[in-house]
């Protein structure tokens, strides 16, 4: 165990909320304690924001937005702040990665990769902030001109889940700030550390006070207050479909805009003509990265019937190479599950699979391990109507089905309520293109798995959500369009005179 980890266990880090530019404890002094899921040791203590604290944060965001100081600032100045934050994230990679792994038990190498990617997102959003512009129309007649302005939407509430804390926040916050919005951020109560550390970097980078407020707290108090508030113009919510549907209902109060990134049950489709070894590694990665606690996990494997038996055998053998263990061991690929509740959910789905008549090929027996470690599991003999084929498990459990031809593969791929991602393995370009056209998903990977770029938008079809984050679409999501009808000289109003 490294000195940094020993120190973290000996002296758990305390975090305060960031409201109107100040770091503050909860007004009633309440805290939330977080233990490392892999070690069962206290690692973080967050101030648990109250309703009053949340109202203060919303009011600070509202005041800062309405003042116009950030919203109307020169985009180059906003971009400079975002770039400075990117640099601060890079300067603190080790510290941030340590906290991510302490709180989530994801392997430390994965945490480092996420933190580096988060920095890239802040840099990319800085460029987008400078590039954001409206449009003009010069074909409206000889004395008319149209201008289409892009304006920041206003105060944005950003609510994030526990699986990729800093990364998911960085897919949203720099784009909202780059567009000129003000924000209130509520990270998951299980992994708030890095979001609260980010507050320090925002302050040091010169973000005006009140423009971004970051609060730890539970969903029912802080999250609910944000989605209910009439002073919030938009909510960017990432999390379960259950809470996403609550956000839709709550948005009716002031007809606020929603950007929702919800659950998934994404297919990995393997055709017989593909590079089998590459597909095996890609399928295993898509299913098991972050212990399968990944919204875009390739958790449904669809294999062409002619190679299914051989593929299953090779896949199960290769799974043995995935080391599960202490997330601070650099050779571990699989760490611990986030909490008892999630662990019980994963376990219960393996039981359901067996009750439904499926077969556990490997893994599946959590009793063989101490603590919250769940072995990567493959379930075969799955039929499309089974619950394990349709519902999100959110753990390292891959369910396998077979198909005879491409039409059946596409039908199976689309046979869930979700549409977040898909993976296609084939050597035939025409086949790949046909599948990408016909699969209903926001992201499709062809012959690769999970590589990400700030330039590419992300979001879901069907019940996986709406709206898009990152890429140029990401910044546009946080804007309103305003049409300006500009007449060259005062127009004689014929509606009144030509009776």
Q: Which residues are catalytic?
A: 261, 295
The sign of the dihedral angle between the CA atoms of 442, 448, 449, 452 is: negative
Residue indicated by tokens 């002031």 = 254
Exactly one of 219, 325, 375, 457 binds ligand NAD (CB under 6 A); that residue is 219
Exactly one of 126, 132, 156, 243 binds ligand NAD (CB under 6 A); that residue is 243
Nearest to 396 by CA among 310, 445, 446, 323: 323
Site for ligand NAD contains 227 (CB under 6 A) = yes
Nearer to ligand NAD, 152 or 217 (CB): 217
Site for ligand NAD contains 46 (CB under 6 A) = no
Site for ligand NAD contains 238 (CB under 6 A) = yes
User: 143 near 489, Cβ under 8 Å?
Assistant: yes
Residue indicated by tokens 């567009």 = 179
User: In whole angstroms, how close is the CB of 498 to ligand NAD at the nearest point?
Assistant: 55
User: In whole angstroms, how close is the CB of 440 to ligand NAD at the nearest point?
Assistant: 15
User: In whole angstroms, how close is the CB of 189 to ligand NAD at the nearest point?
Assistant: 5
Site for ligand NAD contains 103 (CB under 6 A) = no
Site for ligand NAD contains 263 (CB under 6 A) = yes
- Report the first-to-last Cα separation within the chain, whole angstroms: 88
Nearer to ligand NAD, 85 or 215 (CB): 215
Residues 6+ apart with CB under 8 A from 116: 90, 93
Site for ligand NAD contains 262 (CB under 6 A) = yes
Parallel/antiparallel/unpaired status of strands 300-304 and 267-270: parallel
Q: How many residues bind ligand NAD (CB under 6 A)?
A: 30
User: In whole angstroms, how close is the CB of 217 to ligand NAD at the nearest point?
Assistant: 8
Residue 321: count of CB within 10 angstroms of its CB: 9
Q: Phi and psi of 454, rounded to 5°? A: -60, -25
Residues 6+ apart with CB under 8 A from 236: 156, 157, 158, 159, 172, 176, 258, 259, 467, 469, 477
Nearer to ligand NAD, 239 or 298 (CB): 239
User: In whole angstroms, how close is the CB of 236 to ligand NAD at the nearest point?
Assistant: 10
> 288-327 mask for ligand NAD (x: CB under 6 A)?
-------x--------------------------------
Site for ligand NAD contains 364 (CB under 6 A) = no
User: 79 near 129, Cβ under 8 Å?
Assistant: yes
Nearer to ligand NAD, 169 or 319 (CB): 169
Site for ligand NAD contains 159 (CB under 6 A) = yes
Residues 6+ apart with CB under 8 A from 19: 53, 56, 57, 60, 213, 215
Distance CA 371, CA 383 (A): 32
Site for ligand NAD contains 220 (CB under 6 A) = yes
User: In whole angstroms, how close is the CB of 38 to ligand NAD at the nearest point?
Assistant: 18
> Which residues of this protein are in contact with ligand NAD, per CB under 6 A?
159-163, 168, 186, 188-189, 218-220, 223-224, 227, 238-240, 243, 246, 261-264, 295, 392, 394, 420, 460, 465
């Amino acid at each position: 165990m490294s000195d940094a980890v020993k120190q973290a266990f000996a002296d758990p880090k305390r975090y305060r909320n960031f409201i109107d530019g100040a770091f503050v404890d909860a007004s009633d002094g309440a805290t939330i304690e977080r233990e490392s899921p892999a070690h069962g040791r206290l690692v973080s203590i967050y101030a648990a924001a109250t309703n009053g604290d949340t109202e203060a944060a919303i009011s600070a965001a509202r005041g800062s937005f309405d003042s116009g100081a950030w919203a109307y600032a020169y985009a180059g100045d906003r971009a400079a702040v975002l770039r400075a934050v990117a640099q601060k994230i890079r300067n603190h990679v080790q510290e941030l990665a340590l906290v991510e792994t302490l709180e989530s038990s994801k392997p430390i190498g994965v945490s480092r990769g996420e933190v580096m990617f988060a920095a890239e997102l802040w840099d990319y959003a800085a460029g987008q902030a400078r590039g954001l512009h409206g449009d003009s129309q010069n074909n409206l007649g000889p004395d008319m001109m149209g201008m289409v302005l892009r304006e920041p939407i206003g105060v944005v509430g950003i609510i994030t889940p526990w699986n990729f804390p800093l990364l998911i926040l960085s897919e949203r916050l720099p784009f909202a700030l780059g567009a000129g919005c003000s924000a209130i951020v509520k990270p998951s109560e299980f992994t708030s550390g890095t979001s609260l550390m980010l507050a320090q970097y925002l302050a040091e980078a010169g973000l005006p006070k009140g423009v971004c407020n970051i609060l730890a707290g539970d969903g029912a108090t802080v999250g609910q207050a944000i989605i209910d508030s009439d002073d919030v113009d938009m909510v960017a919510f990432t999390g379960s479909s259950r809470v996403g549907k609550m956000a839709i209902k709550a948005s009716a109060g002031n007809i606020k805009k929603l950007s929702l990134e919800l659950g998934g049950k994404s297919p990995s489709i393997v055709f017989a003509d593909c590079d089998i070894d590459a597909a095996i590694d890609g399928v295993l990665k898509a299913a098991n990265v972050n212990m399968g606690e990944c919204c875009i996990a390739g958790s449904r494997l669809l294999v062409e019937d002619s190679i299914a038996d051989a593929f299953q055998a090779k896949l199960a053998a290769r799974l043995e190479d995935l080391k599960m263990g202490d997330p601070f061991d650099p050779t571990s690929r699989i760490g611990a599950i986030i909490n008892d509740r999630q662990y019980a959910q994963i376990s219960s789905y393996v039981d359901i699979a067996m009750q439904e008549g499926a077969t556990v090929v490997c893994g599946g027996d959590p009793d063989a391990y101490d603590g919250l470690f769940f072995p990567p599991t493959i379930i075969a003999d799955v039929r499309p109507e089974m619950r394990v084929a349709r519902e999100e498990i959110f753990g390292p459990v891959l369910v396998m089905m077979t198909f005879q031809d491409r039409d059946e593969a596409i039908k199976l791929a689309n046979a869930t309520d979700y549409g977040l991602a898909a993976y296609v393995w084939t050597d035939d370009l025409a086949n790949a293109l046909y599948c990408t056209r016909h699969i209903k998903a926001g992201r499709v990977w062809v012959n690769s798995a999970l590589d990400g770029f700030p330039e590419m938008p992300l979001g879901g079809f069907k019940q996986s959500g709406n709206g898009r984050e990152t890429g140029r679409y990401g910044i546009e999501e946080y804007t309103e369009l305003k049409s300006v009808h500009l007449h060259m000289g005062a127009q004689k109003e014929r509606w009144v005179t030509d009776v």
